Structure 1
Amino acid sequence: MPFPLGDAALDSLLSDDVPLGDLTTHLLGIGDAPGTMTFAARGPMVAAAVEDAARLLALAGCTVETFTASGVALAAGAPILAAHGPAGALHRGWKMGQLLIETAAGIATATRAIVEAARAVNPDAAVAGTRKMVPGAKALSLKALMAGGGVPHRLGLSETILVFAEHRAFLGGEPPAATIARLRRGAPERAAVVEVASVEEGVTWAAAGADVIQAEKFTVEAVAELAARLRAVAPRALVAAAGGINAERAGAYVAAGARVIVTSAPYTAKPLDVAVRIAPA
Structure 2
Amino acid sequence: MTEPFRPVLLPLMAEEQVRASLLEDLGRAGDITTYATIGPEKRARAALNSREDGVIAGIELARAAFRLVDPSVVFDARVGDGDRVRAGDALIRVEGPARSILSAERVALNYLMHLSGVATYTARFAAEIAHTRARVTCTRKTLPGLRAVEKFAVRLGGGSNHRFGLDDAILIKDNHIAVAGGVAAAIDAARAYAGHLVKIEVEVDNLDQMREALAARPDAILLDNMGPDLLAEAVGINRAHHGLSEADYVATAGRVVLEASGNVNLQTVRAIAETGVDFISTSKITMAATTLDIGLDVDID
Q: Under a length normalisation based on structure 1, what TM-score does the superposition of the two structures give?
A: 0.91
Query: Taking structure 1 as reference, are residues 12 and 32 closer, same or farther at Cα in structure 2, changes over 3 Å only?
Result: farther
Within 5 Å, which residues of 2 pair with 1:100-119?
Answer: 100-119=111-130
- Percent sequence identity over matched residues? 25
CA contact (8 A) 1:120 1:251 kept: no
The answer as to whether partners of 2:204 and 2:221 remain within 8 angstroms in 1 is yes
CA distance in 2, matches of 1:270, 1:108: 10
User: Structure 1 residue 8: deviation in Å?
Assistant: 2.6
Please show how residues 1-281 of structure 1 align to structure 2 within 5 Å: 1-4=7-10, 5-19=13-27, 20-61=29-70, 62-122=73-133, 125-173=134-182, 176=184, 179-186=186-193, 187-234=195-242, 236-243=255-262, 245-267=264-286, 268-280=288-300
Amino acid at match of 1:264: S
Partner amino acid for 1:134? L
CA 280–22 in structure 1, closer or farther in 2 if over 3 Å, else same: farther
Which stretch has the larger CA shift, 265-274 or 18-27?
18-27
Q: Is the 8 A contact 2:221 2:256 kept in 1?
A: yes
Q: Deviations over 1:141-199 (max 9, x none)?
A: 122112212222111111101111211122235x71x5434433443333321101112
1:80 counterpart SS class:
strand
SS at structure 2 position matched to 1:248: coil
Farther-moved stretch of structure 1 (96-105 vs 31-40)? 31-40
Runs of 4+, deviation exceeding 6 Å: none
Kept after mapping to 2: 8 A contact 1:34/1:84: yes
Structure 2: which amino acid aligns with 1:41? S
CA shift in 2, pair 1:129/1:63, >3 Å: same
Write the distance in 2 (CA, Å) between the matches of 1:74 and 1:244. 30
- TM-score w.r.t. length of structure 2: 0.85
* DSSP 3-state at the match of 1:135: coil
Q: 3-state SS of the aligned residue for 2:270?
A: helix
Cα distance in 2 for residues equivalent to 1:30 and 1:96: 22
1:215-262 CA distances to partner (integer Å, 9 max, x unpaired)?
112111211111112211245222101126233322211211211011
Is the Cα contact below 8 Å between 1:40 and 1:275 reproduced in 2?
yes
C-alpha distance in structure 1 between counterparts of 2:152 and 2:163, whole Å: 14
Structure 1 residues 27 and 184: alpha-carbon distance in aligned structure 2, compared to 1, 3 A threshold? closer
Deviates more, 1:48-57 or 1:21-30: 21-30
Segments of 5+ residues of structure 1 without an aligned counterpart are: none
* Structure-1 separation of matches of 2:214 and 2:50: 46
CA contact (8 A) 2:187 2:202 kept: no
Residue identity matched to 2:20? S
Q: Distance in 2 between matches of 1:33 and 1:66?
A: 23
Q: 2: CA distance between counterparts of 1:189 and 1:59? A: 38
Helix, strand or coil: the match of 2:299? strand
Distance 1:190 1:207 in 2: 19
Question: How far is the alpha carbon of 1:46 from its aligned partner?
Answer: 0.3
Distance in 2, Cα, partners of 1:50 & 1:6:
10
Distance 2:32 2:191 in 1: 61
Q: Evaluate the alpha carbon distance shift between residue 81 and residue 12 of structure 1 in structure 2; reply closer, same or farther with a 3 A threshold.
A: same
Q: Tell me, what secondary structure is at the counterpart of 2:171?
A: strand
Q: Structure 1: how far apart are the matches of 2:152 and 2:219?
A: 27
Contact kept in structure 2, 1:33 and 1:280, CA below 8 Å:
no
